[in-house]
Structure 1
């Protein structure tokens, strides 16, 4: 698991330069069925309705330019029936980008961010950003600030300790049972995932490591055959990765590498069916005690 750390530098959401992780995720413009009817499709050439007009009113581009005089290109019936990018797809991409920014500290605890400003940052309308932020609010990552936007929740060490306690209560009994029942070759199959966490840790990127960290833990717990357990544990793990308010430094490359090494050591203990070692390693890993 990745331990919660401090946030990056605070800055105004309307003026700060795009951050490395979410800014690199360029979300494609939203398309609607009406846009396809007007003649635009991915890869089409010619003066059809432009994809960047999808976020605004029909016939109007993203910056208000009119397209009434442009002639649509007729599509064959088979192409008209092809599925287009739906709003849910854009919202999902925005949600992933916001989660990356949150874990990386680019969305700073206590700061308020507006949906239109974040929409400009990602090149989409405010609507999918607002929908993604509502999901983050349900997860407890942000809270709604009426007429302003969304404030990133400020978390302290006590909340992190509570999350660690709950994770240990859920994951430890499962791992102890799996230690006795899962054959060693099944654990060996998970070694590439453990190695992936080490490669991610070597980059020093907290957000990149967070994804591989959770992927490894999901794969381990999935051997229990309980989908609900995996989902609940993954949600708790994600919450534990959010930055803490007031922390002075984010976990560096050395800390991430140490955390990743825990995965390899844990796999070795599981393969050896060393119940006592699995118990101590799991408790220390979840609580952050190395």
Structure 2
């Protein structure tokens, strides 16, 4: 798709992020090479340490209650919002595999400059979700069933041994604390929204693995899980509501087996869960 003409189906992604005006202003400043106005000198190092202009001295002498409150705008907060919205669009299929998306056009739709969009897309490129197309933008990677199967295999190699070890060592009351997360996946599946279900699905798996006390394990497994949720190429490739409901039911069944301490049932359930690529 040519730059400047692509868009999303429906209205989800363009309205997914509302960037506060002050964030947009700060974003524009950075696009132009830095902040403008009185703060520019302080940021660029225009005044050496110990030197103050008359205006700076006057501001410094004001009581704290009289000093104007200037919100500190974090650049990463805008980029983070855009990244979250783009990840949601990947899962929902609004970012279509094989299509090319321009950062300036997406920036217009989000109401921000192209810079945070480009930065978010570059992060997605590192994650393998998109690839750079010189002078055009970013193409959403087309995945096949083989890649999905490989991801499921790697996830199983990492998560299954940990789950079986935890099934033998974690007390029932700790597993019971995860019941609200399992129930959240059931509600999300019933609603049929793939993006919402993807978030609750990963939240449940993260909470289970977190009981191992290994944050690196949680991060690696969550990254693999996120990649496994992207749709296949050649169309949306999405699971229907019935498949989501069945997947969520496996979460509650797994939790019941963990609470009961039935390791054999846990082993059978996690094997089936990862064979389904969930």
**Which TM-score band (shorter chain)?**
0.7 to 0.9
CA distance in 1: counterparts of 2:11 and 2:172, whole angstroms: 40
1:236-269, CA deviations, whole angstroms, 9 ceiling, x for partnerless residues? 0000000101256521111111111110000011
2:67 aligned partner = 77
Q: Provide, for residues 100-129 of structure 1, a one-character-per-residue CA deviation record: whole Å limited to 9, x for no partner.
A: 000001101111001011111111110000
The equivalent residue for 1:200 is: 188
CA displacement 1:9-42 (0-9 Å, x = unmatched): x99873535644323323314647xxxxxxxxxx
Q: Which runs of 5+ in 1 are unaligned?
A: 1-9, 33-51, 61-73
SS in 1 for 2:69: helix
In the superposition, the TM-score normalised over structure 1's length comes to: 0.78
Residue equivalent to 2:76: 88
Please say if residues 116 and 126 of structure 1, whose CA atoms lie closer than 8 Å, have aligned partners that are also in contact. Answer: yes
For the pair shown, which has the larger CA radius of gyration, 1 or 2? 2
Distance in 2 (CA, whole Å) between partners of 1:272 and 1:13 is 56
Q: Which among 14, 21, 30 is matched to residue 5 of structure 2?
A: 14
Distance 1:212 1:272 in 2: 23
1:99 corresponds to 2:80: no
Q: Decide which of 21, 24, 28 is 1:56's aligned counterpart.
A: 28
Normalising by structure 2, what TM-score?
A: 0.82
Q: In the alignment, what sits opposite 1:173?
A: 161
Structure 2 residues without counterparts, runs of 5 or longer: 33-58, 60-64
Task: Find the counterpart in structure 2 of residue 24 from structure 1.
Answer: 15
Q: Where in structure 2 are the equivalents of 1:77-226 lying within 5 Å?
A: 77=67, 79-80=69-70, 83-226=71-214
The residue that corresponds to 1:269 in the other structure is 257
Tell me the equivalent position of 1:228: 216
> Once the 2 structures are TM-superposed, how far is the Cα of residue 273 of structure 1 from its aligned partner?
1.2
Greater relative CO, 1 or 2 (CA 8 Å, sep 6+): 1
Q: Please say if residues 8 and 95 of structure 2, whose CA atoms lie closer than 8 Å, have aligned partners that are also in contact.
A: no
How many Å separate the matches in 2 of 1:244 and 1:289?
Answer: 12
The answer on whether the counterparts of 2:2 and 2:136 sit within 8 Å (CA) in structure 1 is no
Q: C-alpha distance in 1, partners of 2:155/2:267? A: 13
Three-state SS of the structure 2 residue aligned to 1:143 is strand
- 1:54 deviation in Å? 4.3
Q: Shift in Å at residue 55 of structure 1?
A: 4.2
Query: Structure 1 residues 97 and 284, CA, compared in 2 at 3 Å: closer, same or farther?
Result: same
- CA–CA distance in structure 2, aligned partners of residues 15 and 138 of structure 1: 23
**Alpha-carbon distance in structure 2 between the residues aligned to 1:215 and 1:277:** 22
Q: CA deviation at 1:85?
A: 2.4
> CA 1:219 to 1:283, structure 2 compared with 1: closer, same or farther past 3 Å?
same
Q: CA RMSD in A?
A: 2.5
- Which residue of 1 is the match for residue 246 of structure 2? 258
- Structure-2 change in CA distance of 1:103 and 1:220 (3 Å): same
